Amino acid sequence: MAYKTIYPYTGEVLKEYANHTEADLEDALAKGHALYKKWRKENALEERKAQLHLVADLLRRDCDKYAKAMVYDMGKLLDEAKFEVGLCADIADYYADKVDEFLKPEPFPTPAGEAYCVRQATGIVFAVEPWNFPFYQVMRVFAPNFIVGNPIILKHASNCPGSAEAFDNLCREAGCEEGAFKNLFLSYDLVSKAIADPRVQGACLTGSERGGASIAEAAGKNLKKSSLELGGNDAFIVLDDADMDEVKSLLFFARLYNAGQVCVSSKRFIVTEKNYDRFVADLKEEFAKAKCGDPMASDTTLAPLSSAVAKRDVLQAIKEAIDDGAQCIYGNELVDLPGFFVMPTILVNVTKDNSLYNREIFGPVGVVYKVKDEAEAIALANDSSYGLGNTIFGSDLQHAREVGEQIETGMSCINAGFTTLPELPFGGVKNSGYGRELSRLGFNAFVNEHLIFTPKETIARHK
Ligand code: NAP
């Protein structure tokens, strides 16, 4: 069976799940579509608001249960998982609270008459989600679509079926109608079939470029709208006037949170000459604080990677980088524990011809680059096929923002680690994907912005 919970701390298979069948998919499509039609007729917005608030309440009440499901699936620290559950509750509340404002008809002034747009549901959205934030990634799609009246069918990552099932049960417990949210353990073939089905009106994926290309291809072939949240190789730019104490305080979080398996973790540290030596010393010191161990224990600070394959891939990427001339100045030693741990590792001397130069490492590995000045930092940050996020450190905030605006990414954080909040848009450019999740922009992703236009002649005739 493809869908399994294998506990990354021990390697033990905790549970296997049978795949859903084509008949299960048909049932989900039929129920989702019937519900979409019903909601278009009856609206039921007040009911959905109450259900979404209840989803938030249940998440907060049963935080431990949901957090543990994630820990068993993909190994993150329990405290990180609890934070994720809380964030999901905030996202659910946010959309339930904001929907009236987001649904207000938007006027489009024209001398030709009266025009406005209403935002309406379009139908089932098919979501393909990754394992690194098993609840948060699903909530980013579920909350805005559910509240507007788009049913969701989820295909989650094959290594987090426990979390997928828990999310499905959560929706049921909150009283969401049948068809509103359905998790299915599907093969890739059935995913393509689902996206081709006329009852599905949109497809989204968070994951790798490979996965994204395949979902976008299925969507494009069938003229469906799609949105992709893909990988990143985010820069962490330290300008001459950076407050180095502030920088140091964020280094552990920037690269080691979630064992480095974050699309927006800082993967490339780009530091001007002035601060380089201090920066490298600080990064080593912060990485040395990592304590590998039981993800459920509160004194563990570095979780195992999500799977044996993830560990193999990270070690292989480090090896290839070193073979290509990179120098390892910290880490890359075996961790003497049974789980899928990788020691925090720092690489320097990664030149343009190195395999790592334009590659995302999804694990606790930081690459440090020394640059002459700010212009060189910006050029290096932009020399990437990715464009998800980045962080810029400088004491002159306005100047740091102006540097941020010169980086070809979807998100820039100033003097802060990467940040996600319900009210802030999330997404990238270039090979990091297209479309935005969260905020008002995420709400608009799969809505019909329906124009209602009355020409002035018509208005005059009907006075
Ligand atoms: P992945 O292999 O693309 O998997 C993500 C999801 O896509 C999983 O559910 C996977 O299912 C599914 N999938 C992959 N290929 C598919 C296909 N051909 N047809 C149907 N479904 C397919 O990604 P990953 O490597 O596990 O995830 C990590 C990546 O996600 C990193 O690159 C990370 O940066 C990115 N990410 C991006 C964001 C963002 O917001 N931009 C957020 C988090 C993560 P299976 O598990 O069954 O293969």
Residue 461 included in any domain:
no
Q: If pLDDT is split at 50, 70 and 90, which confidence band does 134 have?
A: very high
Shared domain check, 388 and 346: yes
Does the annotation mark 263 as catalytic? yes
User: Phi first, then psi: what are they for 26, rounded to 5°?
Assistant: -60, -40
Residue 176 included in any domain:
yes
* Predicted TM-score (pTM) of this structure: 0.98
Residue 426 included in any domain:
no
The yes-or-no verdict on residue 367 having pLDDT over 90 is yes
Going by alpha carbons, the residue nearest to atom 43 of ligand 1 is: 263
User: Phi first, then psi: what are they for 384, rounded to 5°?
Assistant: -150, 145
Percent of the chain scored above 70 by pLDDT?
100
Is ligand 1 within 6 A of the CB of residue 444? no
- Which amino acid does the sequence have at 192? S
Per residue in 38-72, pLDDT (tens digit) is 999 999 999 999 999 999 999 999 999 999 999 99
Shared domain check, 242 and 135: no
User: Phi first, then psi: what are they for 450, rounded to 5°?
Assistant: -90, 115
Shared domain check, 296 and 275: yes
Shared domain check, 257 and 149: no
Is ligand 1 within 6 A of the CB of residue 388? yes
Count CB atoms within 10 A of the CB of residue 211: 18
Is ligand 1 within 6 A of the CB of residue 229? yes
Shared domain check, 208 and 110: yes
Shared domain check, 239 and 145: no
Residue 422 included in any domain:
no
Tokens for 366, please give them: 């930081």
Residue 303 included in any domain:
yes
Residue 189 included in any domain:
yes
Shared domain check, 220 and 248: no
- The 3-state secondary structure of the chain, one letter per residue: CCEEEEECCCCEEEEEECCCCHHHHHHHHHHHHHHHHHHHHHCCHHHHHHHHHHHHHHHHHCHHHHHHHHHHHHCCCHHHHHHHHHHHHHHHHHHHHHHHHHHCCEECCECCEEEEEEEECCCEEEEECCCCCCCHHHHHHHHHHHHHCCCEEEECCCCCHHHHHHHHHHHHHCCCCCCCEEECCCCHHHHHHHHHCCCEEEEEEECCHHHHHHHHHHHHHCCCEEEEECCCCEEEEECCCCCHHHHHHHHHHHHHHHHHCCCCCEEEEEEEHHHHHHHHHHHHHHHHCCCECCCCCCCCCECCCCCHHHHHHHHHHHHHHHHCCCEEEECCCCCCCCCCCCCCEEEECCCCCCCCCCCCCCCCEEEEEEECCHHHHHHHHHCCCEECEEEEECCCHHHHHHHHHCCCCCEEEECCCCCCCCCCCECCEECCEECCECHHHHHCCCCEEEEEEEEHHHHHHCC
Does the annotation mark 16 as catalytic? no
Shared domain check, 280 and 133: no
| CATH number for position 97 | 3.40.605.10
Average pLDDT, the chain: 98
Is ligand 1 within 6 A of the CB of residue 73? no
**pLDDT score, position 161:** 98
Is ligand 1 within 6 A of the CB of residue 130? yes
CA distance linking residue 336 with residue 342, whole number of Å: 10
User: Phi first, then psi: what are they for 434, rounded to 5°?
Assistant: -150, 155
Going by alpha carbons, the residue nearest to atom 47 of ligand 1 is: 158
| Annotated catalytic residue, options 80, 229, 360, 374 | 229
Please give the number of the atom of ligand 1 that sits closest to the Cα of 426: 40
Q: Which of 16, 76, 87, 128 to mutate to test the pocket of ligand 1 (most atoms within 8 A of CB)?
A: 128
As a whole number, mean pLDDT of residues 286-298 equals 98
CA distance linking residue 135 with residue 251, whole number of Å: 25
User: Phi first, then psi: what are they for 340, rounded to 5°?
Assistant: -90, 60
Shared domain check, 86 and 107: yes
As a whole number, mean pLDDT of residues 74-80 equals 98
| CATH number for position 393 | 3.40.309.10
Overall domain count for the chain: 2
CA distance linking residue 122 with residue 334, whole number of Å: 51
Contact status, residue 399 vs residue 415, Cβ threshold 8 Å:
no
Q: If pLDDT is split at 50, 70 and 90, which confidence band does 149 have?
A: very high
C-alpha dist (Å) from residue 206 to 124, 140, 151, 227, 262? 17, 10, 18, 9, 12
Q: If pLDDT is split at 50, 70 and 90, which confidence band does 463 have?
A: confident
The yes-or-no verdict on residue 295 having pLDDT over 90 is yes
Going by alpha carbons, the residue nearest to atom 22 of ligand 1 is: 211
Going by alpha carbons, the residue nearest to atom 14 of ligand 1 is: 211
Shared domain check, 405 and 436: no
Is ligand 1 within 6 A of the CB of residue 188? yes
Residue in the block written with tokens 């109608």: 177
Shared domain check, 116 and 46: yes
Please give the number of the atom of ligand 1 that sits closest to the Cα of 133: 43
Q: If pLDDT is split at 50, 70 and 90, which confidence band does 77 have?
A: very high
Going by alpha carbons, the residue nearest to atom 4 of ligand 1 is: 207
Tokens for 383, please give them: 């020399």
Is ligand 1 within 6 A of the CB of residue 231? yes
CA distance linking residue 124 with residue 34, whole number of Å: 10
Per residue in 6-47, pLDDT (tens digit) is 999 999 999 999 999 999 999 999 999 999 999 999 999 999
Residue 95 included in any domain:
yes
Structural domain harbouring 7: 3-230+432-452
Per residue in 220-251, pLDDT (tens digit) is 999 999 999 999 999 999 999 999 999 999 99
Burial of 313 (0-12, 13-18, 19+ CB in 10 A): middle
CA distance linking residue 104 with residue 106, whole number of Å: 6
Centre of ligand 1 to C-alpha 206, Å, is: 6
Residue 381 included in any domain:
yes
The packing angle between helices 136-148 and 78-103, to 10°, is 20
Q: Which of 4, 187, 263, 361 to mutate to test the pocket of ligand 1 (most atoms within 8 A of CB)?
A: 263
**pLDDT score, position 443:** 98
| Annotated catalytic residue, options 176, 263, 292, 413 | 263
Burial of 459 (0-12, 13-18, 19+ CB in 10 A): exposed
Longest Cα pair distance anywhere in the chain, in angstroms?
83
Going by alpha carbons, the residue nearest to atom 11 of ligand 1 is: 157
C-alpha dist (Å) from residue 459 to 110, 112, 114, 116, 463? 13, 10, 8, 15, 6
The yes-or-no verdict on residue 1 having pLDDT over 80 is no
Is ligand 1 within 6 A of the CB of residue 128? yes
Contact status, residue 361 vs residue 259, Cβ threshold 8 Å:
no
- Which amino acid does the sequence have at 258? N
Shared domain check, 345 and 272: yes
